[in-house]
Amino acid sequence: MTFDDSAKHGRKRSTHTVIPAKNVVDTTSAGDAFNGVYLGARLEGRTIADSVQLASAAASIVIQHPGAIIPVDVFTQALHQNL
């Protein structure tokens, strides 16, 4: 994933490696999971790189389960294993 806001803010391009999913089952809610975790991490004061890593791990976990909602305990355990 690349964020390029150099034209607007004079910043240089940043590239972030995301965590791939091992077994894609259902992509429903992948973007919601990524965006929610990314924003939550940024609001906690984490760096952009840390927030992208955490958010990509969350999205990777969500798409390995059917439906848009997975049990909290399953999500939490999987998130800790991926970090």
What is the set of active-site residues?
32
Residue 6: Cβ-neighbour burial (10 angstroms; 0-12, 13-18, 19+):
exposed
Phi-psi region of 49 (alpha: psi -120 to 50; beta: other; left: phi over 0): alpha
Q: Which two tokens stand for residue 8?
A: 């607007």
